Chains A and B, each alone.
Chain A
């Protein structure tokens, strides 16, 4: 059936092309067998250029109308709001320029389409015009650069002010592990050379380091709302990238070095689930999933919104399924959860 459909489409496309060629050919009034554009070609293609402008606007409007609701919800981190503002302003500038320049380009293409005997204007230079359109981008970009750099410096200034909790994100093919610094809030030393699978020391923690003993190793990331988190990223094999889109946060994990990123979560998972946009998205998604489940597709259970950590640097065969759930909760819930977890020394003991 599919093959038949594809064949039918192919045939139809072929016929369409053949007919279009014929129309173009029939439209040549003088029937001169020349492959150089004549007035008729200029006329039709001029009109088409105008139609193409309408198409560009059309696909822009269509995409916004259909797809903008699918974008990420409101930022769930303190710096995320600033990020979203900068994005909004940059996008506004971009769309303003895009709308105007595409209009000029295609309208000129239509308006000045060639005609036999028409004289083009010999117009080779105008210093003032060129000055204007050099200086305008300079000014606009200077503004964007300054704002962007200011924000960037703030985001990337990772320090110990405001009593941050320290969490290590540990990447390997093809899963994530998180390590909390524990009661002393200092991560114990670690290196892949100290990995000892038999003793369940999967992150290569230094067993002689007292800071390591209270570290807590988990497979689900819990964060207290409103508390700054300093992430330290490590990888044991290839490059990975810790991507937390809802928090506007991303940093590569590089074998041989520790990278870092810091943010303060501002919206709990529970609150985000009650966000109007998120609820609408979940509803739409679950409709799709229900349809899939009815068709017998696996893994089509209804979805409940969760923050997520994805791998965003090609890392091998299962790169597409390297994820960890992130739960943002009130401080008490977080403390309660943390207290239930085993420390490194406990998990070591339990093996022995």
Chain B
């Protein structure tokens, strides 16, 4: 299999002189080129991200100033904000769609879709993905599901509003909640298409990594980015189909009268016919994907961080093999911890014990990763580019958010903080902010690769990072205290409980930080758009990196390299490597690209 693939690619290299005639449509719209598809993913993801973040700012305003009238609510929400006061139903809808968009559309497709597509072929030395056509279909299914999700916002009864986890019966019964009508149907359709897109993409990534590596690129010479994308794709393939089954069964319950998740329901004065189903079954199915999903979001960000940090520290990543082992261990454990979302769901408490055990185990590979990142910085020559700062920021929020996981993963301690703001603070830091930092690090670092050598403005990058970093902690650190005071999440306002009155001040503080953070993202947006058109071209290898993508020409050509594909002779992390005399192996240059053959009497790092 591998041999034929190679042969095919060598053939392709020879006749590279002729170019396929590209029309506007084949180049920019129905493109099968992985570089163009990655840009399509990124830009779609960023637009969705913009919508998702704007939603969060609106409900944060409602939380800080409950029941107050804002002209912006009236302008954006229309009838759902009579006289500018946000309605309780639309509050839940905003929370729901914010979660859905950020988790799936931004951090799964926008992050993993973008960088898997861009980097897998370029870093392993392949002409393109294994199947360019499937890759194109994958993007367009993603686009379609985005469009349907956006359309659901304009349904008369309102979009889905049962929380991003859409637990039935709330999500199954239109009489339980106005958002559980047409809005929920569109949500389910959109997600079903999204899952198809994700599966096509993942299968393509797996096949490409296994089959299309260039000569010399053994698995243990792969950059950690590729390892992360590869393992992410595998857990996606294992767990996304289970979500599809949950969605299909829910569609059946909603539309065809089955009772998979429903039983014994009396609502609005009448008994419904459902019998024998269990909402707990839905919870199991949902979290069988839902938990691995956290790592589907996070692992690519960690992979990007490994690469960016090593390059900018001018040092090899510390413990390369341990990093790979951690990625695999995290991926494996992530599929057997889902029950920690369900300690108090009514499932057997003994199961809770098992899930506590597996959940706390996952802290071990995570700790190894964090320590390895810190050691990578030690005695480095840190080039503090914006991408590097975001990577350091990622490690910081990953630690802060990860540590509170020790509280939540403990079934006992979970009892009283379950579904409070403590959980919200925890997962926003550990997977939301961390993964976003990974996305930003990736964009700043590989922008020149995406946009033919153009570079983003670094000073705007610094402004973006520092405001974001301060505001992220400003929002989510105090939020832990709100949770430990017992405030439940998904409350439209907390004024019904006098015991929460004094916490309104904290809500105001968090909202102010959130609004400033939102503004800082406009700096990024401006920088991104400006640089895309008017950015100054930098050198071919601006960050002096070892990986193969920087040997490809800046101009995007079909097939990535004009001549033969470079061969690989070493791992990706020979930064600042010296010979016995303490001189760099290549005089005057602190990095040795992977395509450079081993020098005489140079020892290969056996990692």
- On whether the two chains bind one another, the answer is yes
Q: Contact residues of A with B, CB < 8 Å?
A: 3, 10, 13, 17, 20-21, 24-25, 33-37, 41-42, 45-46, 48-49, 52, 55-56, 59-60, 63, 67-68, 70-72, 83, 86-87, 90-91, 93-94, 97-98, 101-102, 104-106, 108-109, 112-115, 118-126, 129-130, 133-134, 137-138, 141, 144-145, 148-149, 151-153, 155-156, 172-173, 191-193, 195, 197, 204, 233, 236-239, 241, 243, 245-246, 248-252, 254-257, 259, 281, 284-285, 288-289, 299, 303, 305, 308, 310-321, 323
B176 touches A237 (CB 8 A): yes
What 4 A-B pairs have minimum CB-CB distances, sorted nearest first?
A256-B263, A156-B349, A245-B486, A303-B498
Contacts of A281 in B (CB 8 A): 499, 502
Residues of B whose CB lies within 8 Å of any CB of A are 71, 88-89, 92, 162-163, 167-170, 173, 176-178, 262-267, 269, 271, 275-280, 313-322, 344-346, 349, 352-353, 356-357, 360-361, 363-364, 367-368, 370-375, 377-385, 388-389, 392, 395-396, 399-400, 403-404, 406-407, 410-413, 415-416, 418-420, 455-460, 462-463, 466, 469-470, 473-474, 477-478, 480-481, 484-486, 488, 490-499, 501-504, 506, 516, 519, 523, 535-536, 538, 542-543, 573, 575-578, 590, 605, 607
The answer to whether A289 touches B498, judged by C-beta atoms less than 8 angstroms apart, is: yes
Q: Is A320 in contact with B485, judged by CB distance below 8 angstroms?
A: no
B382 A36 Cβ-Cβ under 8 A:
no
Q: How far is the CB of A117 from chain B (nearest CB, A)?
A: 9
Closest Cβ–Cβ distance, residue B44 to chain A (whole Å): 26
Interface centre among B178, B484, B488 (most CB of A within 10 A): B488
Q: Is A255's CB under 8 angstroms from B315's CB?
A: no
Chain A residues with Cβ below 8 Å from B377 are: 105, 108-109, 112
- Once the chains bind, are B407 and A323 in contact (CB under 8 Å)? no
- What distance in Å separates the Cβ of A70 from its nearest Cβ neighbour in chain B? 5
CB <8 Å contact, A122 and B576: yes
> Shortest beta-carbon distance, B578 to chain A, in Å?
6
Rounded to whole Å, the gap between the CB of B530 and the closest CB of chain A is 12
B473 lies within 8 A of A245 (CB): no
A134 CB, nearest partner CB in chain B, Å: 6
Q: Choose among B163, B360, B373 the residue with the greatest number of A CB atoms under 10 Å from its CB.
A: B360
The answer to whether A90 and B267 touch across the interface, beta carbons within 8 angstroms, is: no
CA distance A128 to B72 in the complex (A): 58
Q: Are A122 and B575 closer than 8 Å at their CB atoms? A: yes
Partner of A320, one of B275, B371, B380, B494: B494
Contact A41 B462 (CB under 8 A): yes
A104 touches B396 (CB 8 A): no
Which residues of B have CB within 8 Å of A320?
88, 490-494, 496
Q: Could you tell me the distance in whole angstroms from the C-beta of B599 to the nearest C-beta in chain A?
A: 15
- Known: A148-B412, A255-B264. Is A104-B374 also a contact (CB below 8 A)? yes
**B178, B315, B473: the one within 8 Å of A123 (CB):** B315
Determine if B71 and A3 form an interchain contact, defined as CB atoms under 8 angstroms apart: yes
Q: Are A125 and B607 in contact (CB under 8 A)?
A: yes
Known: A34-B538, A316-B170. A120 touches B265 (CB 8 A): no
User: Is there an interface contact between B266 and A112, defined as CB atoms closer than 8 Å?
Assistant: no
Q: Which residues of A contact B535 (CB under 8 A)?
A: 35
Q: Check A124–B364 contact: CB distance below 8 A.
A: no
CA distance A315 to B162 in the complex (A): 8
Contact, CB under 8 Å: B316 / A124: yes
Bound-state CA distance A123–B310 (Å) is 11
Q: Are B381 and A112 in contact (CB under 8 A)?
A: yes
Known: A90-B407, A108-B377, A255-B262. Contact between A152 and B488, CB under 8 A?
no
Q: Which of A35, A121, A155 contacts B415 (CB 8 A)?
A: A155
The answer to whether B502 and A285 touch across the interface, beta carbons within 8 angstroms, is yes
User: In the complex where A83-B415, A239-B169, A254-B280 touch, is A152 in contact with B486 (Cβ < 8 A)?
Assistant: no
Contact among A37, A87, A152, A323 with B496 in the assembled complex (CB-CB below 8 Å): A323
Given contacts A141-B361, A320-B491, contact A45 B415 (CB under 8 A): no
The residue from B89, B389, B399 contacting A101, defined by CB atoms under 8 A apart: B399
A56–B477 CA distance with the chains assembled, in angstroms: 9
Q: Of the candidates A83, A104, A115, A192, which one forms a contact with B266 in the assembled complex, judged by CB atoms under 8 Å apart?
A: A192
Contacts of B320 in A (CB 8 A): 124-125
Closest to A233 in B: B346
A317 and B493 CA atoms in complex are apart in Å by 11
**Are B416 and A67 in contact (CB-based, < 8 A)?**
no
How many angstroms between the C-alpha atoms of A21 and B345 in the bound complex?
51
Pick from B344, B372, B463, B485: contact of A21, CB under 8 Å: B463
**Given A90-B406, A98-B400, A134-B368, also A149-B277 (CB < 8 A):** no
Which residue on A lies nearest to B477, using beta carbons?
A59
Hey, which chain B residues are within 8 Å of A68, CB to CB?
481
How long is the Cα–Cα vector from A20 to B495 in the complex, in angstroms? 40
The answer to whether A312 and B418 have CB atoms under 8 Å apart is: yes
A-side contacts of B502, CB under 8 Å: 70, 281, 284-285, 288
- For B364, the chain A residues whose CB sits under 8 A away are 134, 137-138, 141
Q: A55-B473, A94-B407, A152-B349 are in contact. List 10 more A-B contacts (CB 8 A).
A: A10-B519, A17-B523, A35-B535, A90-B413, A122-B578, A123-B378, A137-B364, A197-B269, A250-B344, A313-B419
Contact of A317 with B416 in the complex, beta carbons under 8 Å: no
A102 adjacent to B356 (CB under 8 Å): no
Nearest B residue to A157 via CB reads: B349
Report yes or no: A108 in contact with B278, Cβ–Cβ below 8 A. Answer: no
Complex contacts, B543 vs chain A, CB 8 Å: 36
In the bound complex, do residue A35 and residue B536 qualify as a contact, i.e. CB atoms below 8 Å apart?
A: yes
Q: For B385, what are the chain A residues with a Cβ–Cβ distance below 8 Å?
A: 36-37, 41
Inter-subunit contact B463/A141 (CB<8 Å): no
B529 to chain A, nearest CB (A): 16
B575 contact from A105, A120, A245, Cβ within 8 A: A120
In the complex, which residues of chain B have a beta carbon less than 8 angstroms from the beta carbon of A41?
384-385, 458, 462
The answer to whether A35 touches B89 (Cβ under 8 A) is: no
Cα A67 to Cα B607 in complex, Å, equals 48
B576 close to A119 (CB less than 8 A): yes
Q: Which residue of A59, A124, A251 is within 8 Å of B573 (Cβ)?
A: A124
Using CB atoms, name the residue of chain A closest to B460: A21
Q: Which of A102, A123, A251 contacts B344 (CB 8 A)?
A: A251
What are 17 of the A-B contact pairs (CB < 8 Å)?
A21-B460, A46-B382, A90-B410, A108-B377, A137-B363, A144-B410, A145-B356, A149-B353, A152-B352, A152-B410, A172-B266, A192-B264, A192-B265, A236-B266, A250-B344, A312-B419, A314-B92
Which of chain B's residues have a CB closer than 8 A to the CB of A122? 315-316, 575-578
Q: B271 near A193 (CB under 8 angstroms)?
A: yes
Taking A45-B384, A94-B403, A317-B92 as contacts, is the C-beta distance between A312 and B264 under 8 angstroms?
no
Query: Is B381 touching A245 in the complex (CB atoms < 8 A)?
Result: no
Q: Which residue of A lies closest to B542 (CB)?
A: A36
Most B CB within 10 A of own CB, among A97, A124, A144: A124
Point out the residues of chain B lying under 8 angstroms from A105, CB to CB. Answer: 373-374, 377, 392, 395-396, 399
B318 touches A125 (CB 8 A): yes
Bound Cα distance A250, B342 (Å): 12
**CA–CA, A281 and B501, complex, Å:** 10
User: Beyond A21-B459, A105-B374, is A71–B485 a contact (Cβ under 8 Å)?
Assistant: yes
Measured between beta carbons, the chain A residues less than 8 angstroms from B499 are: 281, 285, 303, 305, 308
Specify which chain A residues have a CB less than 8 angstroms from the CB of B463 in the assembled complex: 17, 20-21, 24
B316 and A42 contact, CB distance less than 8 A:
no
The reply to whether A314 and B162 contact each other, CB–CB distance below 8 Å, is: yes
The answer to whether residues A316 and B419 also contact, given A83-B412, A237-B169 and a CB cut-off of 8 A, is no
B278 in contact with A148 (CB, 8 Å):
no
CA distance A172 to B577 in the complex (A): 67
Partner of A144, one of B406, B501, B503, B607: B406
Asked if A72 and B264 make an inter-chain contact with CB atoms under 8 angstroms apart, the answer reads no
- Residue from the list B264, B388, B416 in contact with A193, Cβ < 8 A: B264
Question: Which of A36, A42, A316 counts the most chain B CB atoms within 10 A?
Answer: A316
Other-chain residue from B266, B484, B497 in contact with A308 (beta carbon distance below 8 A): B497
With both beta carbons as reference points, the residue of chain B lying nearest to A69 in the complex is identified as: B502
Residues of chain A lying within 8 A (CB to CB) of residue B407? 87, 90-91, 94
Contact indicator A113/B379 (Cβ below 8 Å): no
Contacts of A246 in B (CB 8 A): 486
